[in-house]
Chain A
Amino acid sequence: MYGLSGARGRLLMAAVFVLGSAWILATRPAEGGVTSGAIPSPREGFAAPEVDLERLNGDRVRLSDLRGQVVVLNVWASWCPPCRAEMPALQALHEHRAGQGVVVLGVNSTVQDSEQAARDFASEYGLTFPIALDRDGEATRLYQVRALPSTFFIDQQGIIRRVVVGGPLNPSVLETTVLDLLGEGG
């Protein structure tokens, strides 16, 4: 029935096996044909786009300088309620893991906020991790931030390994993702 029984069925299966195997071999990807991590793009499996921004304290921070460490890049604004709600968890992560090769990098989307509001916010929450100011919106654009907060977990090789859009982040998400990446780093 439907050509599946008897000799016809066996022939069909053999044909499927041969044609399927030939297709798999014929369509093997060329080098770089699948995600290699070399292309900067704000999604899992891709190289984290470079940001070079001024910090609240006047220093500069460049993402590529943090290579070799796990980076939790959190884009936020002072007027955003879920950003406020998740800040204590980010500060706690910074306090517990800063010495273990983990960097929490806050990026204030200053283009849709104000420098003074960011400063007051950091002071109100007692934030001690680096906070960069995205004055012209370049980082917000590069990371295609469509909702605040947005958090990017970047591994020691500079590859984005997890993206969480929206918040507030549950502390378990922060802790387990970072542990995962630290474990991989050896």
Chain B
Amino acid sequence: MLPVLQIGPAAIQLPGLLLIAGVWLGSLLAERQARRLGLSGDGIERLILVALVAGVLGARLGYAVRFLEVYARDPLALLALTPVTLAPEVGVAIGLIAAWVYGQRRRMPFWLTVDAMAPGVAAFAVCLALAHLASGDAFGAPTGVPWAIVLWGMPRHPSQIYELLAALVVLVLVLRLHPGAPFPGFAFGALVAFSAAARLVLDAFRGDSVMWFGTLRAAQVISLAILLGSLAVLRRLTQPSADAGS
């Protein structure tokens, strides 16, 4: 665990740096994949940029709406350079909507475009796991297994390592798929299915799970739903009548 890299007087937040590296690497892979699929690499780059900018703005505004009185008193706080005052769930939703609108306006083929994003998203997931490793977030449940690591006061499953290994396996699987084959949407659908399956399995070893009804791990239930949903979409896309390229 290394949350802060102290270089002289500068305290660099390593998890944040890793996430930025993930965005950069993800964009690079998405752009490359787009060209292999016969799409415009620049178009994908702009799409990612639009999603990121809209996502960050949306996350800040989403947070500010909760504390209107504070931000009305000090509107410049909207521009504060801190990740603390963001509402991530709002940001993700706004970013996805902005990307969808941009893609529609530019008439980008939906399934090929999300296929182009698949290796990039998988690479970002690897960097996210590294960020968790650096920060100690997404930590494991207490355990007595010989490979336990002492973290946050007790021996725990090295859940960040499990997450990293799973993300690497998913990345390799996605990179091994032939671009656009066997049908548009397959690579992205497979990425979502693999990732959901990995989370479904690995969340069992997490020590920070949000619980539903006091007994079920929310992430596992959601992952199973996403896994089944992605399989259903893939099934739909295999039907000859599916409008796969649109």
Contacts and interface: CB of A to CB of B under 8 A. Distances in A.
Binding partners A and B: yes
A2 B182 contact: yes
B220 A170 contact: no
Contact of B227 (A4, A9, A20, A46): A20
B196 to A, nearest CB: 9
B13 interface: yes
A24 B220 contact: yes
Interface string B99-117: 0000000000000000000
A21 B224 contact: yes
Interface in B213-240: 215-217, 220-221, 224, 227-228, 231-232, 234-235, 238-239
Contacts of B66: 176
B12 to A, nearest CB: 9
Interface stretch (B3-11, B30-38, B43-51, B88-96): B3-11
B71 interface: yes
A153 to B, nearest CB: 10
Contacts of A4: 231, 234-235, 238
A166 B4 contact: yes
B67 A16 contact: no
Interface in A1-46: 1-2, 4-5, 9, 12-13, 16-17, 20-21, 23-24, 27-29, 32-35, 39-41, 43, 45-46
A159 B73 CA distance: 29
A172 B77 contact: yes
Contacts of B211: 29, 34
Interface of A: 1-2, 4-5, 9, 12-13, 16-17, 20-21, 23-24, 27-29, 32-35, 39-41, 43, 45-46, 146-147, 162, 164-166, 169-173, 175-177, 179
30 contacts: A4-B234, A4-B235, A4-B238, A9-B231, A12-B231, A16-B224, A16-B231, A20-B224, A20-B227, A23-B200, A24-B217, A24-B220, A29-B209, A33-B141, A33-B142, A33-B207, A34-B207, A34-B208, A39-B154, A41-B153, A146-B3, A146-B4, A146-B11, A165-B13, A166-B11, A170-B81, A170-B82, A172-B67, A172-B85, A173-B84
Interface of B: 3-4, 6, 11, 13, 63, 66-67, 70-71, 74, 77, 80-82, 84-85, 136, 141-142, 152-154, 182-183, 186, 200-201, 204, 206-209, 211, 215-217, 220-221, 224, 227-228, 231-232, 234-235, 238-239
Closest 10 CB pairs of A and B: A27-B204, A172-B77, A147-B11, A170-B80, A20-B224, A41-B152, A41-B153, A176-B67, A39-B153, A146-B4
